[in-house]
Chains A and B, each alone.
Chain A
Amino acid sequence: LQKSQAFQAYRLSNRWTPTQSNPGPPRVGGYGGSSSNSLYQFSRGLAAGNSEFQNLSAKAIENAYKQLPSLPVTGTNFEVEPWSLAKHVQHAPDFGLNPYNYGMTYADLQSIADIGLINQIRAGKTPPNAQFVKDFQLRYKLFTESHLMFEKNNDTVMGKSCTSFKNLITGVFTSFRNDSNNSFTGYKLTPLQSLRHDNYNRIGRNY
């Protein structure tokens, strides 16, 4: 039964293979448009090159993203919260999301991986808009819900005690912190990383 379920989960994830489409203009998120401090205004200000938004404190940037609602993972106590995914948005293509559909390029994602989201904003480069983060949250949630049978609750991910859900075939995983039940990180493991995860229950360095 598990083999069959594993393969069904693989098929589901496989449908998320990123598709190339024409890059469109930056699209601002549509969430919370009526609030004066909304992520909508924040991302619109950034898209317009408004330096007022570039110079916001890190806490204000974090709070802007945190205005998006967390998504509960059905069948678990876990939640996919927006900030953990926004700051690791470079991993979104591993869940089949194409940055071009959100006014970003792969180079933008690489830049976030290189200097971090806060510095990306300070440098006047493109950050993920609300819709990108919301879609990433939804993919993360759906992936987890379709891999519940692969739950491992004694993992150490980047030194944190976590529960993880991994697709053995693709190597894509999601993880949730055991102390807060919030989403932690997720991406596609290499065969080497996946092998190590199977053998030692850990991803990344342990402390």
Chain B
Amino acid sequence: MEYNKNLHLELLKRSQKLQQEGKHLYEESPEDFLKLRDLSALMIGYLHWQNREHYLELIEELLNGSIHFLPLRKKYTSINRAVELLEAELIFLDPIKPYTKAFNFMFLIDDLISLFDRYCSDPTICESHELTEEELRDSIQDMFIKIKQELIIESN
């Protein structure tokens, strides 16, 4: 899917107008609602990608220190909220590269954040899908390498 700024603007305006009338875009056209959601997803992904260097710093800090997920979670959540605010004010970003090129990076960040819900701090009660601290560190390290590789591939 390619990013289309004009379509994004048009759908957002329509969605906002319908909301003012107490309606929802989904009611009028589920297809357009999904288009709008996907355009938002591209914008979110692009903002994550724009913050890639800070993400790498935060992951390194996590790997070198004690297990604390909050800084990374905050970064992730703040970017998602930022897009909601930008959309509410009909503010758009002119990407310096196609939004779709950031997809692999943003999927890896998404995977990384979802890992934290699987952390089990006490091995005596860990379930099969949960990760002990050591397993979690290994997984984060693995993700860190993949993210760096992805960025190297992108820069070439």
Interface-lining segment among A56-64, A67-75, A142-150: A56-64
Q: Are A6 and B122 in contact (CB under 8 A)?
A: no
Which residue on chain A has the smallest CB distance to residue B139?
A205
Q: Which residues of A contact B139 (CB under 8 A)?
A: 205
Stretch at the interface among A15-23, A28-36, A187-195: A187-195
Residue-wise, chain B 100-129 has the 8 Å CB interface mask toward A (1 for contact) of 000000110011101111111110110001
Chain A, 39-64, contact with B by CB distance < 8 Å: what is the 0/1 string?
Answer: 00000000000000000011100100
Find the B residue at minimum CB distance from A203. Answer: B114
Q: Is the CB of A6 within 8 A of B30?
A: yes
- Which residues from B are CB-within-8-Å of A119? 121
B119 neighbours in A (Cβ, 8 Å): 116
Does B40 interact with chain A (Cβ within 8 Å)? yes
Contact B121 A7 (CB under 8 A): no
Q: Which residues of A contact B129 (CB under 8 A)?
A: 158-160
Complex interface: chain B residues within 8 A of A168 (CB): 26, 30, 33-34
Contact check, B37 vs A194: say whether CB atoms are below 8 A apart.
yes
B99–chain A nearest beta-carbon distance, Å: 11
Which secondary structure dominates where chain B touches chain A? helix
Task: Check A115–B68 contact: CB distance below 8 A.
Answer: yes
Chain B residues whose CB sits within 8 angstroms of the CB of A196 once the complex forms: 107, 110
Size category of the binding interface on chain A: 20 to 34
Question: In the complex, A30 Cα to B98 Cα: how many Å?
Answer: 55
Q: Which residues of A contact B114 (CB under 8 A)?
A: 158, 203-205
List residues of chain B with CB within 8 A of the CB of A192. Answer: 40-41, 44-45, 106, 110
Q: Which residues of A contact B106 (CB under 8 A)?
A: 192
Check if B93 is an interface residue, CB within 8 A of chain A.
no
| Complex Cα–Cα for A14 and B10 (A) | 25
B121: contacting residue among A88, A110, A115, A205, CB under 8 A: A115
Whole-angstrom CA separation of A72 from B87 in the bound complex: 40
- Contact A10/B24 with A88-B117, A114-B69, A118-B121 known, Cβ cut-off 8 Å: yes
A190 touches B44 (CB 8 A): yes
B interface, CB within 8 angstroms of A? 24, 26-27, 30, 33-34, 37-38, 40-41, 44-45, 67-70, 73, 80, 106-107, 110-112, 114-122, 124-125, 129, 139, 143
In the complex, given contacts A3-B27, A10-B26, A196-B107, what are 13 additional A-B residue pairs having Cβ atoms less than 8 angstroms apart?
A10-B24, A57-B124, A88-B117, A113-B69, A113-B70, A115-B68, A118-B121, A191-B38, A192-B41, A193-B110, A195-B41, A204-B115, A205-B139
- Give residues in A with beta carbon < 8 Å to B: 3, 6-7, 10, 57-59, 62, 88, 110, 113-116, 118-119, 158-160, 168-169, 185, 190-196, 203-205
